[in-house]
């Protein structure tokens, strides 16, 4: 094989590898619909992997990476619950693509936030207690079909 053929083969191998990695990332990042609808547990897993900059909720805090549940706890303690409702509501709405309804409850230190619109019949539910830096955040997600 000449030099051009080896470069073309190497380019093809790299391209296929990149496609395989991208496909695996999509497969694990987006919860798949089951026979009756999306899996609420898979959605909670996907949301739990989100890390954001602390600057989003605490200006001047430095650009520290924070888990989404830690950010929810800070948001609730500060009284600025818009982050929880707007950000998480947007993420879950994007995952469910407005095809399914949902209701999410996030509780931290006695404050309960509930958002989303449950329409249809419940098809999946997930309840979790998540350990954060400041304590436990309790999360409940019900998906409706």
Q: What is the pLDDT of residues 25-57, one digit of tens each?
A: 433 344 445 556 799 999 999 999 999 888 777
Are residues 13 and 71 located together in one domain of the fold?
Answer: no
> At 1, is the pLDDT very low, low, confident or very high (cuts 50, 70, 90)?
low
- Which CATH number covers residue 110? 3.30.1140
Lowest mean pLDDT among 6-20, 30-44, 81-95, 128-142: 6-20
The number of distinct structural domains making up the chain is 2
Mean pLDDT of 7-22: 41
Tokens (6 digits) for 102: 């949902």
Are residues 23 and 75 located together in one domain of the fold?
Answer: no
Q: Are 143 and 110 within 8 A, CB to CB?
A: no
Express each pLDDT in 50-73 by its tens digit. 998 887 776 776 778 999 999 999
CA dist list (Å): 6 to 11, 18, 61 = 8, 18, 50
Are residues 53 and 106 located together in one domain of the fold?
Answer: yes
Domain assignment of residue 128, given as a range: 40-144
pLDDT of residue 21: 41
Are residues 62 and 120 located together in one domain of the fold?
Answer: yes
């Amino acid at each position: 094989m000449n030099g051009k053929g080896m470069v073309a083969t190497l380019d093809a191998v790299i391209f296929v590898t990149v496609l395989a990695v991208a496909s695996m990332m999509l497969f694990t990042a987006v919860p798949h619909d089951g026979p009756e609808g999306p899996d609420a547990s898979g959605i909670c897993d996907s949301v739990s992997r989100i890390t954001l900059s602390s600057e989003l909720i605490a200006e001047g805090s430095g650009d520290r990476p924070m888990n989404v549940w830690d950010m929810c706890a800070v948001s609730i303690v500060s009284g600025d619950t818009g982050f929880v409702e707007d950000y998480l509501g947007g993420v879950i709405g994007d995952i469910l693509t407005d095809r399914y309804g949902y209701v999410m409850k996030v509780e931290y230190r006695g404050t309960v936030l509930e958002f989303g619109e449950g329409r249809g019949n419940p098809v999946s539910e997930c309840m979790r207690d998540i350990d954060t830096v400041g304590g436990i955040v309790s999360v409940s997600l019900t998906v409706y079909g």
